[in-house]
Amino acid sequence: MDRIRIVGGQKLNGTIPISGAKNAALPLMIASLLTNETLVLENVPRLADVRMLIRILGNHGVDHMIDGKRSGDTTHAGQTIRFTAREIVDTTAPYELVSRMRASFWVLAPLVARMGEAKVSLPGGCAIGTRPVDFLLMAMEKLGAQIDIESGYAIARAPKGLRGAEIVFPKVTVGGTHTALMGAVLAHGDTLIKNAACEPEVADLADCLIKMGAKIKGAGTSEIEISGVGSLQGAQHAVLPDRIEAGTFAMAAAMAGGDVFLENVRPELLQSALDHIVSAGATVTSNNHGIRIQRNGSGLQPVDVTTDPFPGFPTDLQAQFMALMTRAKGTSRITETIFENRFMHVQELARLGAKIRLEGDTAVVEGVPKLTGAPVMATDLRASVSLVIGALVADGETTVHRVYHLDRGFERLEQKLNGCGAILERLSDPG
């Protein structure tokens, strides 16, 4: 099992290219099930989750082709992948595949929309909380699907097709909004989604669906209107840049100090996080090509943060910001409102010398003068990269174990940080 060794104490100076967003790429790939024509996705990141979803889609009969490199491509250019679901050969998504990646449960909506039926394994537990699929199933029932739960599977049937409806989510849900969108685009009649997620990845999916012939208004707001169409066609779409990766590297630069330019970033997608980084003492400037993060030798200031749905502070950056605050000159409070168990990185940061105590859904972080390298264990995707951020300034060496979590969401992390002067090395156990 791979691990990463990090030698702390190096400032970061240079340019880091930001990859396509994992959280946008996955629903876009799943949308290929909605048409028998080819969907061409550009700027797809090279991630373990992308490879796993390709396997899952292949189980349903989706062919894929990865384009070769083109003249002028950089080593960090995203992939172009062509997905063709000419014929759906299997409407069952088995447990052994769905259990490895929760987002694969979203295949339920396009399978029912196109084929009138689907049998998808319930995804089971998750390290950062229960993340129930109740809202996703509720959306499908509103669209006319009959849902039965049998032997750990959600079985959905709509033999005469889905029909438009009003869907009101009791709380904001990205997965529920993705599901409702992909179900409604082929439904008979009109659909109105209320309390929809406003995340940029939802708008990106809607933009792609519109290119495929869907009729959607209001994506990116809390109310989305969809008029169902008879069929969708192929299209070409570029995955938007990853705001979580951008925020992560911005916090790494603020932590280590130096001068880093993050290439291919849309600052409006992570403005709340950037505002908090500025409050902590870094300088952030932007231009048409990305954002620049600078911090001189001055110390970090404590900043309180509460996670919220977009445009609030992203839950996917909470662990990284906590790592940053471990070196602040004072006490900060970090409140998690999205997931009930997203503080597992606290104990691992404590192994580096951080002082953090938990008060319900709030972590109270008392900044310390220094962190010290130690062996630590990644518990989930975002927690794992928070340990890397801490290790960048820790005295001595830190070894992060279970880095397969990192590979799910960060493309070429070591190369990107090493290119700016950090010292990271991936180690593999023999055999």
Tell me the mean pLDDT in the region 381-385: 82
Place of tokens 């200031």: 301
DSSP structure class, residue 380: S
Place of tokens 């990865």: 66
Res. 381: pLDDT tops 90? no
What are the structural domains, with CATH classification, of the chain?
3-19+241-427 (3.65.10.10), 22-238 (3.65.10.10)
Alpha carbon 161 to chain centroid, angstroms? 31
pLDDT value of residue 17: 97
Length of the chain equals 431
Alpha carbon 179 to chain centroid, angstroms? 16
8 Å CB contact between 324 and 298: no
Residues 245 and 28: their CA atoms lie apart, in Å, by: 18
Residues 385 and 381: their CA atoms lie apart, in Å, by: 7
pLDDT value of residue 130: 44
Q: Which of 126, 198, 208, 420 is catalytic?
A: 126
Mean pLDDT is lowest, of 19-23, 98-102, 129-133, 179-183, for 129-133
* Mean pLDDT, rounded, of the chain: 93
Residues 193 and 206: their CA atoms lie apart, in Å, by: 13
Would you call 191 exposed, middle or buried from its count of C-beta atoms within 10 A (0-12, 13-18, 19+)?
A: buried
Res. 59: pLDDT tops 80? yes
pTM metric for this prediction: 0.94
Residues 237 and 121: their CA atoms lie apart, in Å, by: 29
Q: How many helices (H) and strands (E) does the chain have?
A: 14, 24
Least Cα distance to 346 among 362, 331, 329 occurs for 362
Instruction: Name the amino acid, one letter, at 215.
Output: K
Residues 33 and 42: their CA atoms lie apart, in Å, by: 17
pLDDT value of residue 22: 95
Question: Rg for the chain (alpha carbons), in Å?
Answer: 22
305 Cβ contact list (under 8 Å, min separation 6)? 276, 313, 318, 321, 332, 333, 334, 335
Q: pLDDT grade, residue 380 (50/70/90)?
A: confident
Would you call 59 exposed, middle or buried from its count of C-beta atoms within 10 A (0-12, 13-18, 19+)?
A: middle
Ramachandran angles phi, psi of 405, nearest 5°: -60, -45
Tell me the mean pLDDT in the region 277-302: 94
pLDDT value of residue 72: 62
- Based on the residue annotation, tell me whether 198 is a catalytic residue of this protein: no
pLDDT tens digit sequence for 413-427: 999 999 999 999 999
User: Up-side HSE of residue 167: CA atoms within 13 Å toward CB?
Assistant: 36
Tell me the mean pLDDT in the region 340-348: 85
8 Å CB contact between 419 and 398: no
pLDDT value of residue 332: 98
pLDDT value of residue 32: 98
